[in-house]
Amino acid sequence: MLLIACPNCGPRAQAEFTFERPLASIVTPTETLPDLIHKLFTRENPRGPSWELWRHTYGCAGWLKVHRDTHSHQISAALPVDMETPS
Amino acid sequence: MQRYSALSLLRGGLNGQKSWQRAWRDPAPKSHYDVIIIGGGGHGLATAYYLSKVHGIRNVAVLERSWIGGGNTGRNTTIVRSNYRQPALHNLFEFSLKLWEGMSDDLNYNVMFSQRGAMFLGHSDSDMIRLAERGDAMRAAGIDAEFMTMDQLRKKLPLLDLSDKARYPIVGALNQPRGGTARHDAVAWGYARAADALGVDVIQNCEVLGIDRVGGRVTGVQTTRGPIGADRVGICVAGNSGQVAAMADLRLPIESHLLQAFVSEPVKPMVDMVIMSQSIHAYVSQSDKGEIVMGGDPDLYPTYSQRGRPDRIEGVAGQCIALFPALSRLRMLRSWAGTTDMSFDGSPIIGTTPVEGLYLNGGWCYGGFKATPASGWTYAHTLAKGEPHALNAPFSLDRFETGATIDETGAGPMPHHR
């Protein structure tokens, strides 16, 4: 099980969190149709590092941005949702 | 091919089991094939078999990066059923079920297909309405489906908790008597042996590293055993479809998740059917060895790790024990995980791709095992003719762009909500 450091609550077990979607798949109301299809369906689905949106559902209920390797499960960052991700 | 029979078994008994030949050859890759299938799981091997048997295309190779049947073919809970509501799905899976019924004879290999009945439990009035709709849709298509009353359930499954104090109260069920289980390894071995006998090269320990194209057309593959030319290449690697398709610059409507399964220590017969609950999403059956086979929700986040999260073990065990309280006395023997291709409508993708000569079979979510023969049959047709069979035409790669998704659960583009 992952150990995720919630920016509000500190390190907590994955059981308290829910995965939402990759950050790149967040859809805005002004999306063009090709972008929309890309974000909803033909996602990158990387085997390696990925920025993701998670929620501390059974804790503070806050959203967070997590940088996680989808193969090794190493988490290199867990940021508040309003913080810019490093490019 | 040395045919297996009661007589060959007897002969083996009399000569110290020395007369057995190896079940399939271990060929070195040729320089060129008419068709290369990437992935030696049940689906890929079935595809090769039907390509040879039905379409007469015998210059075929199946490339497997490790050993055949070592991926999701050997990791599922072996359930076979065709109890889907939507026509595109139940047509495909019913065609599959009919092939299952003749598979052991056809392959001359005992896949231990056991039609013990596969049942969906209903826990509420709304569950029963949904099950009735499903059953009606199935029967209208000529598929067997029958309601089970509480009295029938009590008689059939005395260990199921049918009391009003149950954690998950049960009010009825929808049974498919022709559903059941099969031995998953035997399915891979049986198809490999039968395909090999028809001239197919089953090449293990041969990982595909690249897909060669000239002028937008596939010309072959690069592998750990050198380059191999091909007129047509079929991807059949559910769990890693996105990784292999990326070799041809394709992005697929698939997210890779993980599904766990569990078996208990073996016990005497106690559950003689496949019991599933859609509402709590747990399923229980008993293997022929006596182990109780259990499964539940996937791990609900993208991962290629093939390592399950322990809270899921606890969750599935809790659900199964609530259904069958006697299971609480058993010890868990093993748990394992497989990477699943979660498509964005919960249905598979079998068909052509934008790359000429390249075909795709994947996106099986966590329900591909039961489709093995139909998947192979329709994919072989698609590879042989260059266009889909009527049964797999709805499962095209472009259905997400066109909006023609086949969404049995109505969950939308949320693979982790299924």
- When pLDDT is cut at 50, 70 and 90, the band that residue A86 belongs to is confident
Does B170 have pLDDT greater than 60? Answer: yes
Measure CA B131 to chain center.
23
The closest CB to that of B413, out of A15, A41, A70, belongs to A41
Q: Measured between CB atoms, does B401 come within 8 Å of chain A?
A: yes
N-term to C-term CA, chain B: 44
The closest CB to that of B400, out of A15, A37, A44, belongs to A37
A72 assigned to some structural domain: yes
Q: Measured between CB atoms, does B302 come within 8 Å of chain A?
A: yes
Q: Tell me which chain B residues have a C-beta less than 8 angstroms from the C-beta of A22.
A: 302
- Spell out the SS3 assignment of B280-331: CCEEEEECCCCEEEEECCCCCCCCCCCCCCHHHHHHHHHHHHHHCHHHHHCC
Q: Do B302 and A71 touch (CB under 8 A)?
A: no
DSSP string, B64-97: -SSSTT-SGGGTS--EE----SSHHHHHHHHHHH
* Min Cα separation B412/chain A (Å): 10
Q: Do B243 and A47 touch (CB under 8 A)?
A: yes
Which pTM was predicted?
Answer: 0.96
Enter the tokens of residue B1. 């091919």
- When pLDDT is cut at 50, 70 and 90, the band that residue B417 belongs to is low
Residue B8 corresponds to which amino acid? S
* Min Cα separation A86/chain B (Å): 22
pLDDT score, position B411: 79
pLDDT tens profile B388-416: 999 999 999 999 999 999 998 887 777 76
For the segment B51-76, the average pLDDT, to the nearest whole number, is 97
pLDDT tens profile B248-302: 999 999 999 999 999 999 999 999 999 999 999 999 999 999 999 999 999 999 9
A32 assigned to some structural domain: no
* Domain region containing A53: 1-24+47-87
A38 assigned to some structural domain: no
pLDDT score, position A73: 96
pLDDT tens profile B67-92: 999 999 999 999 999 999 999 999 99
- When pLDDT is cut at 50, 70 and 90, the band that residue B214 belongs to is very high
For the segment B37-66, the average pLDDT, to the nearest whole number, is 98
Q: Tell me which chain B residues have a C-beta less than 8 angstroms from the C-beta of A41.
A: 253, 344, 400-401, 413
Which uninterrupted H or E stretch holds A64?
A: strand A63-69
pLDDT score, position A54: 97
Q: Measured between CB atoms, does B311 come within 8 Å of chain A?
A: yes
Cβ neighbours for B64, distance < 8 A, ≥ 6 positions apart: B39, B40, B41, B44, B70, B202, B203, B204, B205, B206
pLDDT score, position B292: 98
Kindly report the average pLDDT of chain B as a whole number: 96
pLDDT score, position B320: 97
pLDDT score, position B418: 54
pLDDT tens profile B310-340: 999 999 999 999 999 999 999 999 999 999 9
Q: Which domains does chain B have, with CATH numbers?
A: 31-78+184-253+345-417 (3.50.50.60), 115-179+255-343 (3.30.9.10)
pLDDT tens profile A22-65: 999 999 999 999 999 999 999 999 999 999 999 999 999 999 99
Q: Measured between CB atoms, does B344 come within 8 Å of chain A?
A: yes
A30 assigned to some structural domain: no
Q: How many domains does chain A have?
A: 1
Flag the least confident range among B133-142, B352-361, B408-417.
B408-417
Three-class secondary structure of residue B150 per DSSP: helix
What is the domain-level CATH number for residue A78?
3.30.2270.10
Q: Residues 11 to 70 of B: which have CB under 8 A from any A CB?
A: none
